[in-house]
Structure 1
Amino acid sequence: MAKAKKERKGNSENVYSKKAKFNAFSSSRPAKKINPFEVHINKEKFNILGRTCKHDKGLPGISRAKAVQKRKRTLGEEFMQKNKSNEFKDRRIGSNSEVINDELLNARFVAEKMSMFKKSSRFNLNDDEVLTHRGQTLEEIEQFHDNRSDDDMEDEDVLDANFTKAAHFGGEDSQQDRKAAIEEMIAETKLRKAQSAKEKDEIFELTKKLDSNYKDLIPLVGKFNKSEDIVKNKPDDYDRALREMVFEPRGAVSDRLVSEEELAKLEKERLIKLENARLARMRGVENTNEKQNHRSADDLDDGYLVGSDGEENGILAYDLNGESLTNNHSEPTPEDENKTDALDNRESDEEISENDSETENDDDEDDLSDLKDPDIESESEELSSNECQQAKTVSNAVGSEPRNKVIKLPFTIEMPSSYEELKKLLSKYSADEQGILVERIIKYNHPKIEPKNKDKISKLFSFLLQYVHDLFASASIKDVNNSFLVINKLNPFLYDLMHLDPEMTSTCIVDVIQQKYSEYKKHEKLYPSLDTLVFFKIVSNMYTTSDYRHYVVTPCYIFMSHILSKARVRTRQDIAMGLFLVTLVLEYSHSSQRFLPAALNFLLGVIYLSIPKRAIEKLKTVPPFMSTGPFNKILAMNNDTNEKLMEAEDESLLKAEDFVTVTISLDFKIRALNAALILTKDAIEGVSENIGSNYLAETFVPMMERINLDSYPQYIKSSFEKTMGTLSAVAGKPLKKLMPPEKKPKALRLLEPRIEKVYDDKRRPKISKAKEEKVKLIHKIRRETKGAVREIRRDTEFLQTIRINQQIQSDRERKEKVKRIYMEASVQQGELNELSRQKKKK
């Protein structure tokens, strides 16, 4: 049986190959090779010798595709024409033509234009005719103004009894008296109407002139009111207590008080959820199983604040300055809030009153006289000098701005229209004052106040980046410290601006990094200037650096790796910049614990430069550090020690002037080695959990052992011992070798024979020929019925798919229409609100 089956399979394959050859020869193009995984083999129950089966192999995918196409041509067309008795006929010019050219299109266009000029009915007003009245169109007239009317009835137009008697009844005289009376009446009426129209014209012109000059009168009225002496009573204790109660937190009556246990449980669940999300982002895993809550179209998110990670952080609340209260990491107590508010009010009153007294006769842009509140001013006058001094002392203790001198800064600042305007504004002030100015610009032009301010905020972000670039590009040895102070003050506001428009600000940062990288690629062997490195620090302060891939952070990783692996180290400035980059790399990878080989190689190179070497001595090192040359021991101590440096007890690290200084001093050698030792210890501890961390630590040990500690102060020796202890612990860690998984042991062969029962003797009862034919027909009917049911089921599935697609398309169109309606309604509501605000201003 096995041999016959093999021969049958061979025959079928030969037949199939013959068909393929025939198709290949019959067609002009080569035969397509069939994928063996798409071929389905139909097994037969009985193998009959000498019979060739035509259906032993099949292609289910091709057959299914053909069936779908056939249903689209037949069943799909019938379904689309279901319940439709009309038909579309193309009656355009040249509809029967197979070729559509320009002449045909021009003829259609002319016919369409001619049909527009034909008026179907004399009562049809939906045409292009412009209806006018007295030389004005209806659109110009329907402005809902209270215009003059000539149809107004007056008392003088009423006919008297004498005229009625003479005109209608003939009177006592002849017909000539009647005609004269009518003419006299007409003349008097025309004269009266002319006088009345003249008076109305004069009144209308005066009213119109008064309306146009109304806006010019408003400032005059305001000035008259300000010049008047307003006498108010001084506030008593009740008034002070009432104003202080405004700043106290209020709770809703319907809110249920939450117990401390429930608060702790909710906070724990929130922290767990945030940590899981952070770890998932770090590994690059996207959670697609998270169920999103349904949000209706009219949901305005009132009362909820959605954070950057997409979760609801709680109730949205704001203080009196428009700042969000939910962004604070530590919530102050009500007592602290009252104390801080009271101190701020007193200090602001003092500052405003001093500014007003100094600039009383000045007509300056920064005049703060309009900002004074009479109630608060009168209250501040009652404070004694001791209380004001005490308020200043407490305010400085809690970290607020120093109030010992009056800072003449504008409170309301418009958004600068250009970068030069912003630079001119900030360059006149110190670092602290520049931070205050930027904060006030953001508050005064915040998008929550007016939506169109979002573009201004985005423009301010790019201006600040350009300002930071120019600040560090032109920084000298004297100005570099101030530049770092300025960037320290601007960092919080850059972070706030980034969250106001994340997409635009991220694109702006990436554009800056790409531009800096293209400039660096022109001279790969040289370190970039400080105005490039400062943007790496800005990125670490603004974005999360623990994600597996990040739109902004990942390009910075690559950029720093190229600098550390290709730029040569020759000067003090190069070493300082390299250590700064290594510090940023460790800051970036603190949470994710990934390592950058170029950073570890740079630390090893700094230690290599600190080793005294003879002229013929060579140590193994990795580029960009060279084993030979004049720069291979620029940090080594050559018996030129200083007693003051040797006796120094305070640990000193790198300074700001190291970034702009070229000459290497004795003090810098000590500080550079100390920074390298500390960074090496942190870097090895960060990668200690990796499998091959012992290989990384082993390369540092022989270099560390060659350092001559006799020429260094005591704190260098302490740092050396700590770093050496960490390196020894990691280097001595045994390497865990990779082992294949243990295989399940193979079972022994059983000695008992395997017996299978085979039933080949199938005996059927003998039946007549007619009954046998009947049985065959029944079998055929059942087989055809089964096939018909299968086809009906597939047809039903196909029709259901068409219905679902139609329903989806209908829902999509409905949603688009609803969205458009809501959008138009929102625009209309915005215009209505704008009109109401303008009316209130008037």
Structure 2
Amino acid sequence: MVTTNQQQGPKGSGGSALKRLKKTLQAAGVVGQTSKASRSKKDRKRGAPTEVGRNDSDKKLSLIRGEFNPFEHKIQKTKFEILGRKMKGTSGKPNLSKQVGEENRKKTLLVEMRSKNRRGGIIDKRFGENNPSLTPEERMLERFTREKQKSSRSTSMFNLDDDEEDLSLTHYGQSLSNMDDFDDAGLGLSDDEEDKKQMDGKIVSRLHFGGFEDEGGEDGDRHKSKHEVMKEIIAKSKMHKLERQNAKQEDDELRENLDEELDDIRSLLETKPRRPLPSQNAVFKRNEDENPRNEVLEDYSEYDKAIRDLATDQRAQATDRTKTEEEIAIEEKENLEKAERARKRRMEGLDSEDEEDSSSKKKSHKKRKGAPQADDLDDDFLAELEDDVAQLGKGLTLEDIRNSLVDDDEEDDEDEEGEDEEDDDEEDDEEDDEEGETDNSDIEDIEEDDEEAPVFGEDNGDDDMNEIGKAGVVQKKKVEAPVKAEKREIPFTFECPTTHEEFLTILEGLDAEDSVVVTKRIRVLYHIKLAHGNKEKLTKFLGVLIDHLAYVASTVSPLPTSVLQDLGTHVFELSQQLPEVAAEIFTAKLKKMHGDMAKKMKHTSSSWPDVEDLTLLRSIGQIFSTSDLTHPVATPALLFMCQALGQCRISSEIDLGRGLFLTLLTYEYQTVSKRFIPESLNFLNRALVALAPQETFGDHIPGYFPMPEGTSELSIKDTEAKDVPAIAPLKFEQVNVEAEEGNDALRLSLVQGTLRMFERYLKLYASTPAFLEVFEDSLKIVSKLSTLSWHQELETLISTVQGRLERQIKFCKEKRSKTPLRMQTHRPIPIAQHLPKFEKAYSMDRHYDPDHERAQSHKLESQLKKEKKGALRELRKDNQFIAREKAKERKQKDEEYNKMVKGVMTILEGEQSEMKRLEREKDKKH
């Protein structure tokens, strides 16, 4: 809908709006000499006929008012003007239609709204109600007069109480004389006040029969709890078990000694054979020939060997059930908390909990000096006091280490098995035997690895071994090895950091390798299965860990590859647990990268992604699936790398190194899907052209890839590089280090890396149908480079790449199945033509459907749609009207309420002022 306005130009269009209005009124005869006001009295007395009657003048004025105001009309401008065509709704008067609709709604909808929730009809026949000439005060006065007249006629003239009852005071329709002065006066007690007199059970229990006694008093002869009794039983069983183990070990040693000494006395035990009688010579001789003594001895030795193997062979121990992920997390968290408590006690100079337990158990495991007597009271589990040598102790011996390890194993077994200590003696002996063998093997491992033990302060994941090392094994190493004074001991528990600054505060004073240990311990402490709020904590920690990964890659030198790999493993595992959070974090990082690159393109010469961005891009390829057709993280990352390879300018060796790393990432991204990435191959071609000597290509560069200006400064001056014994492979650290001007060694490494990438892409796109078109330009560039004299390694590599390109391109030309586009050889086939079907009295507004029923259904659908739109429009207008009326009523009620409140406040203020005036007069009198 468009609004048409009359021309209102100051010149050449009728002047101003006021002048045009005057002209229009004069032309209509409303004003001017022809008007009624301009005629003389003589003409008016004569009764001369007027040109403009009253009714005609009103019509003309309304017509002029409507035509003169262009905003009263709305005209819909059609795109094309067609002669003889009439369309409905092209022009209208919205204000007039709105006014008419408002009046109709006041007559219908407003009446229904006011009569809502009213039942029946009431005819108001009160005096003066339908008389608009009377005011409300006059109506009330007249009604009161008529009521009094009617009551005076109906009552008796001798009833003295009649007037008093009629004139009695009322309140809310009830007579005040009928009210009792003491009702609801607040003189009685309420239910709440009666309830306050009662005492609760607590007061009764403390002050009546059970009170006046101190609670919680300790009794010296109290009974032991079940937990204390069970602890004593477990301690006794451990002691008896250790005694049985020691006794069995002594028996085994004695048996082994006897077996070793048996060979020495075997000759004494043998009996000399008696000579047979002459009559028995033949029989004995035959028996000796059949069963020689040597064979018997060999059979016995084999039997003894088999028995010995069976005795020393270890039985397979019963395995425990597989623990759940939650149980493993809880166990790891408890171990870390236990280790942290031990570390703090050592820092304060106190014995750790494990040392106290082990010392108490060592005392209980000592052998008794005398043999057990018949009058012993089965209290031989108590430790006997022994005097230390010169009050310095005997030190830590190998036997003490063995006992401590045995105790630790027994504690683990008893924690897992509970209180099942009533097994048979034979099973206990066998288990003790196996445990003794495993413990001995552990001791041997410790003694063998003593020379390679870590320096004190490093964490090997074994708290027991750390304790032993602190006691004596590693102490010698700790003194001799150089220790950094700045490095502090790694705690075992941390607060989960929410920002990278907090994480750096935790890592302050630690090496880069220690960040992996701290990360692992934080993940163990705040595992998702341990507490309800750990998921939110790990969500924030994942972002912190990603920031730290980029921070380590950009700040630590030389680049800690192992640290980055371990941190990347933690990022991968957390991303698998929280995939949506990881996707949001990396998407935000990609947006920031894109914004930074756009700013660099405008203001700086080098706009390539820095080391932090390259590290994050590689992490994205390792965490998310890069083979999907569309991925919310991998696809934007690939597009970002392609944009950098295609738009970033090459101005230094660092730019070339970063570009080669991006081509490596795109290759890793497309290893599975093998999608064609033209930006990578274009960059490799640009890199070879930029690094080649200036006179290699001249003005003509093969291919259609863009070659920006300023790349000639990167050309290699000395391609043979005789002073370079071997070309060093390109490293990731070199993409962040400024190279010296004219550094041909680095440029040769870049050429080598570019050719290596060519080999990878040749294998990747070997099955691409467009292999010929893609690598034909690359072959021309490599062939041009092969004409130069290079370093021996580069010559070999260039010849290899050139040979492979030539072979694959030749194969493609011979075996390709597609044919190029060409002009058609046959005669063109004409398009089939049909005579148009003409309709008499054709109208664009009609639908000419041959199916009558379908046409009728379409007609009904269009009518229904039209009526539905009209009904919805009317309903919206009705709702707007109802809302306006309700707002008016609400405003009116508010005004009446405010007026009533103001009246009441005026009365109260008057009474208050009168009361104060009386008080002042009283004060004056006194």
Report the TM-score range of the alignment, normalised by the length of the smaller protein: 0.3 to 0.5
Considering only CA atoms, is the larger Rg found in Structure 1 or Structure 2? 2
Q: TM-score with structure 2 length normalisation?
A: 0.43
